[in-house]
Amino acid sequence: MPNYTLGEERFKNKSKDAENTLSASDMAIIISHLLKKYPQVLNTTKVVKSSFVDGKTITPMQNWNWMLKGLSQYDPNYPVDGLKTGTTDAAGACFASTMKKNGRRLVTVVMGAQHASGEDPSRFIQTKKLLKYIFDNYSSKKIKQGFSFASVRRVKVINGKEKSAPVYVKEPTVIWLPKEQQLSDLKVKFSKKEIHAPQISGKTVGRYYLINKPVLNSNKDIAIKATVHQDIKQANLLVRIWNRLFNHQQSSSKKANSSVATAQKDKNFRPYQDPKDLVKAGSWDKKSESKKHPNLTKVKDLWLRVSLKGNRTYIMSGKKPIYTMLSTGGVYHKNKSDTPTGTYHIQPERGDSFYNHKLNEGAKYYVSWKDHGVYLFHSVPTKSDGSIDKKEAKKLGKSQGSHGCIRLSIPDSKWLATTVPVGTKVVIKNN
C-alpha cells in the first residue's frame, strides 16, 4: 500500500508514494510462518471454484491460481494446493506456489513475470520451470533417528566416567540435497567442543550443523538435534578436581603458544608473483591487469585458483597463471575463513545483480561455484540503492571481508560472470 493511504499510521519520514518492498526470500519466510501456524489456510487456497451468496445475489468465483486441478495451467507433475497470486506495477506478475513432495511441503516464489494481459499465464509457466529445475536437480534425503555422521561420531565429555561419548541424530529429518550428493558426503560440525556430565539418554546434547547448507534468508547452517543413547554418568569428586586443574594449565599453555605462532606468521600467502601490470590494491572500478581479458573459451586446461589470504584469484592454463585478479574472500574466525576451501566447479546460476536484505548487501555480475547460488564470484558489494559500498570495495586485494563469496572488481566480475564456462574447475585455498 502506498504511504499516503495509511492515514495516521503513515511513515512520516517517507514520501507519500513510498511502498514496502519484499524480496522473494522475504515472502518465503512469511509463507513459512503462515503454513506452520495456520495450515488450515490450505483448505481455502485449494478451492477451485465457489459461489458467494449476498442476499439474493449469487456471485460465482474462480481461483486465480490456474495451476489447480481443473484450471488452464494444471499439470499433474506439480499438484499445487495454493497459495497466492499478486500483481503490481513495480513487482509485475507474482505467484507463490506450494505443494507436497515426498511428504515434505515445498514453496516457490516467482516475481516479475510477464503480464501482457489478464489472460497471461507467464507466472505459472515460470513456476513450473522452477519446480522442474528442483525435481531435476534435487531429491529429498531422509536422515533416520539414531543416524551417526562419520565426521562427528564422538564428542569429548568433561567430568564424565568416560572421556568421550557417541552422539546420534535425535529425530528423523528430511532435507533436500543435490541429487549427486549423498548423506555420507555431508560436511558436518558439532555445536559444542565438549559436553559436560551428567547427561540423560534421549535428551538434546547439542546440534549438528550441515556446513554450507544455509537456512532460508540466512547464512546460518541447517541444524539437526543430537542426543546420546546411554546416560553419561559423572566422574567422582577427586577426578573432577584434577580435570579442572589440568584443563586450566593446558589452556594457559595454548594461549602462550598461540602468541608465538602469530608473531612468526608468514605474510606472503600468494602462490604466484604479481604481474607487473597489476593495478593498485583497492582499485575496484578497473580491470586488475591492463592487458585484455583472455578468451576463456579458448584457454587450454582452464581452471581458477583462489588464494584467500593472498587476496588474489588466478585464471590458470594448466600450471601457469595467465591473468591475475584482485579479490576478497571470507572473513576469518579462529583462523577459518567463511569461504569454504576445496575443489568446486562453476555452476549454471549467474546474473547481472542481486540484493540480500538480510545482509543489507548486494553486488553486480555474479556466477555460482557452490551450492547453486549460495557461493558466488561477484563484484565488490553494493548498497540498497545499487551504489557501490566504497568502504568495503577498498578492501579488494588487501584484506578479507566477504560473507563467503569471492569479490572481484566491477570489470573483472562482469567479464567472468558472462564468459566463464559451466563446469570450469575452481580450487580455493587459504594460501
Catalytic residue annotation: 378, 405
For every residue of 202-237, DSSP letters joined together read TSEEEEEEEEEEEPTTSSPEEEEEEE-SS-BPBPPH
244, 253, 428: which is closest to 328 by C-alpha? 428
CA dihedral 318, 321, 327, 331 (to 10 degrees): 60
Contacts 24+ apart (CB under 8 A), 168-171: 168/226, 168/227, 168/228, 168/229, 169/143, 169/144, 169/145, 169/208, 169/224, 169/225, 169/226, 169/227, 170/145, 170/202, 170/204, 170/224, 170/225, 170/226, 170/227, 171/145, 171/225
First to last CA, the chain: 51
CA dihedral 122, 126, 132, 137 (to 10 degrees): 170
